[in-house]
Amino acid sequence: MTTSISVQELRDKIAGGGRIVVVDARWSRAKKPYDSYATAHIPLAVFCDPELDLAGVPSREAGRNPLPDIERVRDAVRRWGVRSEHLVIVYDAGDGLFASRAWWILRWAGLENVRVLTGGLAAWEADGNETAFGPGNLPQPGTIAVSEGNMPVASLDDVRTWSERGILVDAREPSRFEGRSERVDLQAGHIPGAVNLAARSLQNADGSFLPVEQLRERFASVGIEAGRNVAVYSGSGLHSSLFIQAMEEAGITDASLYVGGWSQWAGDPSLPIVRF
């Protein structure tokens, strides 16, 4: 089943009164999430603050986007009015990173029917659709049950030896993987034994994923195929969530997400790193 939904499909569901919950999960360094939401959002959308609703407290030891406490996710989906019969549609500004993070976290929390809006708010507006402003809807409290652990997770200890029994994938851009560029985390380089396939290389310019056969070819180039033991990391779990979403688009499931990512690994000076 696809993990994505198009602007046309979302517009039809809104017009048809479908049982959906639309979640605005935008984030940027330039503007507070709620300010972006209040200025313009897709009609019916509810507000999500990715830093508060989709992540725990950042630290050198845990990384920049550790897993949230499950109670925090439970409070969020209740506030959004999510019920078991709802299709949850998440979107961001357009690059897919925070929407993919929301998709993965909600799947990890046990929500099965979650889609990402391809192209996000940028695609919605480019198609000529109207936006709403202000505080948005105040839905009735949601009732869906959530529980942690419904998507595979790899720990720091797991990834120490992952390449001995499977494939450890670094989903960052090659320059960061090779240690030639690092503007965010404490050290440059990658985890020993990791292979590199940038999550961005799995997308078209409009934010949609490549056709399934092309995705499978890209994955096969680093040894990823159905049945292989795969763990994926990025800097802090954003590009790696996008990568795992692309894997599911290609029909390859059960990849583990190393949530702490390079931000956690690089924060420990005792751990080995590779640069080339």
Q: What's the pLDDT band for 59 if we cut at 50, 70, 90?
A: very high
Which pLDDT score is estimated for 1?
67
**pLDDT, tens digit, 9 for 90 and up, residues 7-27:** 999 999 999 998 999 999 999
Rounded to the nearest 10 degrees, what angle do helices 239-249 and 97-108 cross at?
70
Query: Distance between CA atoms of 49 and 68, rounded to whole angstroms?
Result: 12
Residue type, 252: I
Mean model confidence pLDDT for the chain:
96
Instruction: Report the relative pairing of strands 87-91 and 195-196 from DSSP bridges.
Output: unpaired
253 by DSSP, 3-state: which? Answer: coil
**pLDDT, tens digit, 9 for 90 and up, residues 226-273:** 999 999 999 999 999 999 999 999 999 999 999 999 999 999 999 999
Torsion angles phi and psi, residue 117, rounded to 5 = -75, 115
**pLDDT, tens digit, 9 for 90 and up, residues 179-221:** 999 999 999 999 999 999 999 999 999 999 999 999 999 999 9
Query: Distance between CA atoms of 108 and 219, rounded to whole angstroms?
Result: 23
**pLDDT, tens digit, 9 for 90 and up, residues 65-106:** 999 999 999 999 999 999 999 999 999 999 999 999 999 999
Do 240 and 171 meet the contact criterion of CB atoms below 8 Å apart? yes
Which pLDDT score is estimated for 138?
84
Q: What's the pLDDT band for 150 if we cut at 50, 70, 90?
A: very high
Do 211 and 179 meet the contact criterion of CB atoms below 8 Å apart? no
For 241, residues 6+ apart whose C-beta sits below 8 A from its C-beta are: 97, 100, 101, 103, 104, 257
Which pLDDT score is estimated for 43?
95
Which pLDDT score is estimated for 30?
84
What's the order of all strands across the beta sheet hosting 195-196?
153-154, 256-258, 230-233, 167-170, 195-196
Q: What angle do CA 110, 16, 102 make, to 5 degrees?
A: 30
Query: What proportion of the chain, given as a percentage, has pLDDT over 70?
Result: 100
**pLDDT, tens digit, 9 for 90 and up, residues 129-145:** 999 999 987 899 999 99
Sequence-ordered alpha helix ranges (H) in 127-276: 156-160, 174-177, 212-220, 239-249, 261-265
Query: What proportion of the chain, given as a percentage, has pLDDT over 90?
Result: 96
171 by DSSP, 3-state: which? Answer: coil
**Spatial CA neighbour of 69 closest among 53, 81, 82:** 53
Does the pLDDT at position 42 exceed 80?
yes
* pTM exceeds 0.85 for this model: yes
